[in-house]
Amino acid sequence: MDNLELALQKAFINKEALGDDLTPKFIVNNPKKHDYLLNTLSKDLKSCKTFFIAVAFITPSGLNAIKTQLADLALRGISGKILTSTYLNFNDPHVFRALLNIPNVEVRVSKKEGFHSKGYLFEMEDYQSFVIGSSNLTMSALKLNYEWNVRLTSRENGEMVSSIQKHLIQEWHEAQSLTLEWVDAFEKNYHPIVNRKMLVQDVSENECLDTQYILPNSMQKEALRSLKALRETGATKGMIVSATGTGKTYLAAFDVQQFHPKRVLFIVHSELILMKALESFKLILGGKDDDYGVLSGNSKNFDAKYLFGTIQTVSKSEYQERLGKEAFDYILIDEVHKAGAKSYIKAIEFFNPKFLLGMTATPERTDNFNIFELFDYNVAYEIRLQAALELELLCPFYYFGVTDYEKDGEIIDETTDLKRLLQEERVDFLIKKINYYGYSGDSPRGLVFCSRKDEARQLAEMFNDRGIPSAYLSGDHNFDKREKEIKRLDTGEIHYIFTVDIFNEGIDIPKVNQVIMLRNTQSSIIFIQQLGRGLRKDPSKEFVTVIDFIGNYKNNYMIPMALSGDSSQTKNSLRRDTIDVTYISGLSSINFEKVARERIFKSIDQAKLDAMSELKASYFKLKNRLNRVPYLNDFQVLDGVDPLLIIGKEKTYYNFLERIGEAEAKLSEEENSALKFVSVELLSGIRPHELYVIEEFLMTDKEQLSLEEITALFDTFNLTYTTDTLASVVKVLDLSFYESTIRKRYLLSQMFKMKENCLQITEKFREFKKNSYFINLMLDVIHTGINKSMEYDLSQPLNLYKKYRRKDVLRLLNMNFNQNEQSIGGYTNSNNHFAIFVTLDKGKDFKAARIAYEDEFIDERTFHWYTKAPRNLRSPEVQLLRNPGEYKFHLFVKRKYNQKENETDFYYLGEVAPLQETIQQVEKQDKEGKKKSVVKLDFTLETPVEPNMYEFLTQSIRTNE
């Protein structure tokens, strides 16, 4: 029975049967689990040889969701067809023009009046996949709406797929080819007869029918309640951390409304922001014009009830003296992350308001100045990008990580000279990409962020030369010039403003529908600030297009870090956030072109994310927020750097604190060694059983636990276990699990011993418990590990696509003992488990193997593998392969060997089965040129490797060249 027959059996005959990616699937969008129809379509597009999409309705956002996949297919010479309609005049001329701009898609328009099909057909290497249901090619249908769809699979000669293909071919022949002439003619007579917005996307809960009366949105309501509650505690200072575009200025005005101050001072760093803030306050608070005044370089109003001042003016002694310390009972500081500057400190220290409010989207600073301390650590409310998108407070964005210009193998990087950046061919390349990914609205209104001023100025000129009206702005331009160009962009007189050092924050241009990045990502903070320029909602757009041209930059790893909001700084999480981009909420989407994605992987491989400077910065960032020395667990629960990164670098958190001068007491060498055992061996949380046992001894006066008491403890915490698990846990804790070298390492600080069928504490551990600092640090490690265990499905020992060290695998599979890493090598077997460890790209520096093994994927379901040498068909492990019996075979793979980082983790790809007909004894040459006997064979994977993971693993050699 082949895979397809097994899949059909699971779907239609026996749900308990084994299935795989071919199993027919019922698909319903589940935003809470980030499970969308879009995931299925993207996956099939990546793997297909050709495709045929037949849908009645298409929106620019729906088309954007698959554009990078289509671009990648074009590079591979793969094309497909889209059949759509003019039904209800839903599809507008803009989307038809966008379809014409996709070179590897042939489009036709059905002549049938009631064409209402929704189907997606993909031709794979040896089967067909098709999705049929209720979803059109709109972003709402692909991600949010309650839609019903079914994915089916079939061989080429299957009855159902043959019927579908026959029907599609007939419809295709009867349809009208999409041409520029057809679109021009259609546009002349186009009048939408349905409310597209109601069909595509619900009206936001924050939109009001009466635009003259503005009500707080959901974020503002919650923040207002929090601010009121904070003041009721007697607090006189508070901070709001809120993503760009969520309405901080309106929130401030609403809070002024509920506070009823006599006079208000609103401090900003720019006159552009100042005037917009004043207008927003007027909309909310009303009142007479002379209630509002400006104190800046160009205006000197000292008496207004609502005074809006630039920090440059407000911080001057002469103006402070004229105003007086008690002039305002409510002061607001916008973009308060700048408040570490002397001018802000001077203003804060001078004035004495009843309440001081600071607002920012990004409170983090790179100079270690503690903004939180300025506001007595009172964060009244916080909402970051992901949560704001989920609450639909922001305009949806479609991020495209695209490949920057490359010629003769030369790629744009930090050192590229200006001449190459301004090549005519590169400019044409940029324009082609920008047009391909498009925009929402009547015309493009884009901000283009460049790496240097000369580049920005000359690119603006070159765009103008090509008939694309553009302007250049930098910090060198005065207020009037900036305001003039922003107004021209707002009205559509120009399409682009090229810039370098302004627009990162504070500037509000709601109609911006494109953000284009032509620079190296310097920090995740700046990245989000620039992205945020387009996130404010506006009736002129349904979404903002973000096009990031990715060159060969060292800091490319910051892109997934910024988009995901993941601050763990682990390479594994950054790779995951580049591969699996379903984490983005709402109607937004993230897409990387294949080559751009490979450049990010290369940057991640080369990044020094565990450098002491990085870890120290993360530590003080957390300390500033908490107003105390952080525990290791604080990093885990408050989304700081991954605790494993600190332990990987320093072995214990105590060592780290000592190194940066932050340890609050002393540990003996033996106490620190005990801490090291738990930190290095158990912190990962892959099996928390040992941690709960140690915690029980720490938190009670018990000096021994029987095996029955240990299992009762496991039951208390709902831990899955077997008798083998229990035996393994005990062996780990009394160190008998470990081979001699590791056992010696921890023997002097051994905490437990097995005696008379009980696990007992040692005299050393009894002494350790007298040190309260040791107990605090040990409990901290335990709680961190238990929290980390929540990242795993603990009902089974191994989780698909999670990373494991060799010794972790031996522990989780309850193998007899922990062998030396070198002796394990490529595989080991024990206790009915056969664990196989493969490094795909061993690199030039790999000296561990005497023979160059050519282990490799044949496809997503098949892996080609070699035994150690010398081996023959009679060797014990080969006999196991030929006659598996009760043995289970597990495949663990990592991309490449990295001697510098000593990265020992492997991705778990699930159980595999030896293909008996492929087992063959062959000869291979060793390093001395001598022939050695080995056995080669193919494994079938029980679960085919997920396409994104497969691409990630198999492209390692290409990016290493």
For the segment 354-373, what is each residue's pLDDT rounded down to a tens digit? Answer: 999 999 988 877 677 899 99
pTM above 0.85, yes or no: yes
Tell me: cis bond preceding 870? Omega within 30 of 0 counts.
yes
Tokens of 466: 């090509």
* pLDDT class of 708 with cuts at 50, 70, 90: very high
Confidence band (pLDDT; 50, 70, 90) for 687?
very high
pLDDT of 503 reads 83
Residue 645 amino acid letter: L
* CATH class, 395-606 region: alpha beta
Residues 424, 435 contacting (CB under 8 angstroms): no
pLDDT of residue 658: 98
pLDDT of 214 reads 83
The model's pLDDT over 718-771, given as tens digits with 9 standing for 90+, comes to: 999 999 999 999 999 999 999 888 899 999 899 999 999 999 999 999 999 999
Q: What dihedral angle (degrees, nearest 10) is formed by the CA atoms of 83, 86, 91, 94?
A: 90
Contacts of 465 (CB under 8 A, 6+ apart): none
* Residue tagged 């794979």 (tokens): 124
Is residue 961 pLDDT above 50, yes or no?
A: no
Q: Is the pLDDT of residue 190 over 60?
A: yes
d(CA 586, CA 589): 8
Report whether 843 contacts 896 (CB < 8 A).
yes
Question: What is the structure's pLDDT at 851?
Answer: 63
Average pLDDT over residues 37-42: 95
pLDDT at 928: 80
Of 9-18, 228-237, 264-273, 882-891, which range is least confident? 9-18
Asked if residue 845 has pLDDT above 90, the reply is: no
Q: What is the mean pLDDT of residues 834-861?
A: 78
User: Which 3-state string (H, E, C) describes 901-932?
Assistant: CCCCCEEEEEEEEECHHHCEEEEEEECCCCEE
Half-sphere exposure of 893 (CA within 13 A, CB side): 24
pLDDT, tens only, 131-140: 999 999 999 9
Kindly report, residue by residue over 655-679, the tens digit of the pLDDT. Answer: 999 999 999 999 999 999 999 999 9
Average pLDDT over residues 196-212: 43
pLDDT at 820 > cutoff 90: no
Domain 803-960 has CATH 2.30.280: yes
What was the pLDDT predicted at 201? Answer: 42
Tell me the average pLDDT across 550-557: 92
Report which of 911, 945, 951 is spatially closest to residue 809, judged by C-alpha positions.
911
- In this prediction, what percent of the chain has a pLDDT beyond 90? 73
Report whether pLDDT(844) > 70: no
Looking at CATH, the fold of the domain delimited by 218-389 is given as Rossmann fold (3.40.50)
Q: What is the CATH number of domain 3-200?
A: 3.30.870.10
Where residue 40 falls among pLDDT bands split at 50, 70, 90?
very high
Q: Which of 691-695, 842-846, 852-856 has the lowest mean pLDDT?
A: 842-846
Question: What pLDDT does residue 210 have?
Answer: 40
Say if residue 958's pLDDT is above 50: no
pLDDT of residue 529: 87
Report which of residues 508 and 560 the model is more confident about.
Answer: 560
Confidence of residue 203 (pLDDT cuts 50, 70, 90): very low
- Lowest-pLDDT choice from 23-37, 47-61, 151-165, 843-857: 843-857
Q: What is the mean pLDDT of the chain?
A: 91
User: Of 530, 289, 280, nearest to 397 (Cα)?
Assistant: 530
Secondary structure (DSSP) of 185-207: HHHHT----S-HHHHHSPPPTT-
206, two tokens: 């924050």
The mean per-residue pLDDT over the stretch 778-785 comes to 98
What's the average model confidence in pLDDT over 197-207? 42
Residue 839, SS3?
strand
pLDDT tens track for 606-618: 999 999 999 999 9
Distance, CA of 619 to CA of 961 (rounded, Å): 36
Sign of the dihedral through C-alpha 454, 459, 465, 467: negative
Residue 901 is predicted with a pLDDT of: 52
**Tens of pLDDT, residues 289-322:** 999 999 998 899 999 999 999 999 999 999 999 9
pLDDT of res. 668 = 97
In 3D space, the residue among 713, 708, 712, 724 whose CA is nearest the CA of residue 757 turns out to be 708
